[in-house]
């Protein structure tokens, strides 16, 4: 039986900045290299989605203006069903603006309040200064069975604060992270990850891409077997160089 992964790409024309679309490319290609069929469903304003048929959802980042354009549609059309799917274990990765809209609300620096769907127990408040630069984090051991060092790029005015219903994706070694105060980066709830790591995240960190694919396969097919290894020597070497370079500068 050919296994198949179905990926929903939320608002690709509005929420795609700093190479976030590359996360879709990485997921799809890493599936195809392993003989896993992969379908990508773009989800734009007005779209209807059967979330029970989706294995992985991706929601990228965008400027505040782009976020404002799709916030109402996301809240009203996708919000309740997507929140239920996340509670049921849907695998999801949300970056920056997508991460913020999964929370309770985003209060922009201009005072505009953008309500979120409340799928993640976080809220975001805009600051006057942007948090910009390369980031290195060390993930929580429970995410992939062992701590990982992930690299990315952040550029956000929002300061995100975590509630008791989520745990951090990781601890900031270099960079600002969620809010520049508590050294946390990202949030994890069940199989959903929100974070500020652009760059794009998954090509730079193939271990995380494979984690998402493996969990999605387990959820869809009950398949706990390990993924067929890929030759990630170049990707991992580039990742290690970046980690060492950033730690040395810090």
pLDDT in tens, 191-227: 999 999 998 899 999 999 999 999 999 999 997 677 9
Reported as half-sphere exposure (CB side, CA atoms, 13 A), residue 200 has a value of 22
- pLDDT one-digit tens code per residue, 100-114: 999 999 898 888 888
| Alpha-carbon span 130 to 108, nearest angstrom | 12
9 is catalytic: no
Beta-carbon count within 10 A of 139 CB: 24
Whether residue 98 contacts residue 10, with contact meaning beta carbons closer than 8 Å, is answered with: yes
Question: Contact, 151 vs 139, CB < 8 A?
Answer: no
**Is residue 198 annotated as part of the catalytic site, yes or no?**
yes
What does the mean pLDDT of the chain come to? 93
pLDDT 10s digits, 34-66: 999 999 999 999 999 999 999 999 999 877 666
* Given the residues 9, 156, 176, 198, the one annotated as active site: 198
Phi-psi region of 24 (alpha: psi -120 to 50; beta: other; left: phi over 0): alpha
Question: Averaged over 216-241, what is the pLDDT?
Answer: 92
Residues 171, 185: Cα–Cα separation, whole Å: 6
Residues 6+ apart with CB under 8 A from 232: 206
Res. 144 pLDDT band, cuts 50 70 90: confident
Active-site residue, selected from the candidate residues 14, 96, 176, 195? 96
Distance (Å) of CA 230 to CA 33, 190, 209: 8, 26, 12
Find the mean pLDDT for residues 73-90: 96
* Confidence category of residue 176, pLDDT binned at 50, 70, 90: very high
Cross-strand partners of 139: 170
């Amino acid at each position: 039986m050919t296994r198949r992964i179905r990926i929903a790409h939320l608002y690709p024309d509005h929420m795609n900045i700093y190479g976030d679309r590359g996360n879709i490319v990485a997921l799809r290609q890493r599936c195809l290299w392993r003989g896993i069929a992969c379908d990508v469903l773009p989800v734009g304003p007005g779209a209807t989605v059967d979330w029970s048929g989706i294995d992985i959802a991706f929601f990228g980042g965008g400027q505040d203006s782009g976020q404002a354009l799709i916030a109402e549609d996301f809240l009203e059309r996708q919000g309740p069903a997507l929140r239920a799917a996340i509670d049921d274990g849907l695998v999801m990765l949300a970056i920056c603006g997508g991460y913020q809209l999964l929370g309770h609300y985003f209060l922009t620096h201009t005072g505009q309040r953008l309500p979120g769907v409340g799928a993640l127990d976080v809220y975001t408040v805009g600051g006057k200064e942007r948090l910009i630069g390369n980031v290195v984090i060390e993930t929580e051991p429970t995410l992939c069975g062992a701590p990982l060092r992930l690299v990315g790029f952040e550029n956000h005015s929002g300061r995100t604060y975590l509630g008791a219903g989520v745990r951090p994706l990781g601890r900031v070694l270099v960079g600002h992270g969620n809010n520049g105060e508590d050294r946390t980066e990202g949030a994890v709830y069940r199989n959903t990850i929100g974070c500020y790591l652009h760059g794009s995240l998954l090509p730079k960190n193939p271990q995380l891409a494979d984690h998402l694919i493996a969990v999605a396969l387990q959820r869809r097919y009950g398949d706990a077997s390990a993924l067929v290894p890929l030759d990630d020597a170049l990707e991992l070497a580039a990742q290690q160089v970046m980690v060492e370079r950033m730690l040395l500068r810090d």
